[in-house]
Chains A and B, each alone.
Chain A
Amino acid sequence: MTPNEFIRCHEQEWGQLEALVAARFKYRTDNLKKDGSLSPEQAMDPAAFPSLYRRVCLHLALARERHYPPALIDRLDRLALSGHQVFYGTRSLLRIGQFIVHDFPALIREHGRLFWFSSALLYLPGLIMGLLVYFRPEMVYSLLDYFSVLHLEEMYRTGGAIEIETGSGRVADENFKMFGYYIKNNISIGFQCFASGILFGLGTLFFLIFNGLVFGAVSAHLIHQGSTENFFQFVIAHGAFELTAIVLCGMAGLLLGRALLSPGRKRRKEALIDAARPAVQIVYGATAMLLIAAFIEAFWSSGAYLPVTGKFIVGGLLWALVAAYFFFMGARRES
Chain B
Amino acid sequence: MLDTIRTIETPEGVSIRLRLAGPVPRALAWLTDFLIFAFAWLVTGIFLGSSGDFGFGIWLIIAFLLTWFYPVLFEVYAQGATPGKKMLGLVVLQDDGVPVGWSASMVRNLLRTVDFLPLFYAFGLCSMFLNRDFKRLGDIVAKTIVVHRDKPRLAQKLPQANALPLPVWLSSSEQQLIVAFADRVPRLTPDRAQELAQILDPASGHGTRATLRGDVDSLLGYARHIVGER
Contact = CB atoms under 8 A, between A and B. Distances in A.
Interface residues of B, number: 61
17 contacts: A61-B14, A71-B156, A75-B156, A77-B16, A80-B14, A84-B98, A88-B97, A174-B53, A177-B56, A178-B57, A183-B60, A184-B60, A184-B61, A184-B64, A191-B68, A195-B113, A284-B106
Interface in A160-202: 172-174, 176-181, 183-184, 187-188, 191-192, 194-196, 198-199
B110 A273 contact: no
A41 interface: no
Given A61-B13, A177-B53, A71 B183 contact: yes
A181 B179 CA distance: 64
B142 A276 contact: yes
A266 interface: no
B57 A191 contact: no
Interface stretch (A2-10, A236-244, A309-317): A2-10
Given A4-B227, A80-B16, A85-B97, A177 B63 contact: no
Interface string B96-133: 11110111001100111110000000000000000000
Contacts of B226: 2-3
Contacts of B53: 173-174, 176-177
Contacts, number: 158
B183 A69 contact: yes
Given A69-B158, A71-B183, A180 B17 contact: no
B110 A84 contact: no
A25 B228 contact: no
A245 interface: no
Contacts of A181: 57, 60
A283 B60 contact: no
B57 A54 contact: no
Given A71-B154, A191-B68, A177 B141 contact: no
Interface stretch (A89-97, A132-140, A141-149, A210-218): A89-97
B134 interface: no
Contacts of B112: 195
A277 interface: yes
A179 B143 CA distance: 35
Contact of A69 (B57, B96, B98, B227): B227
B1 interface: no
Interface in A55-94: 57-58, 60-61, 67-72, 74-75, 77-78, 80-81, 84-85, 88-92, 94
Given A199-B114, A280-B107, A3 B228 contact: yes
A74 B113 contact: no
Contacts of B107: 276, 279-280
B98 A85 contact: yes
A179 B16 contact: no
Which of B57, B112, B226, B229 has most chain A Cβ within 10 Å? B57
Report, nearest first, the 5 A-B pairs whose CB atoms are least far apart.
A2-B228, A4-B228, A180-B60, A92-B101, A180-B57
A183 B101 contact: no
Contacts of B110: 191, 194-195, 280, 283
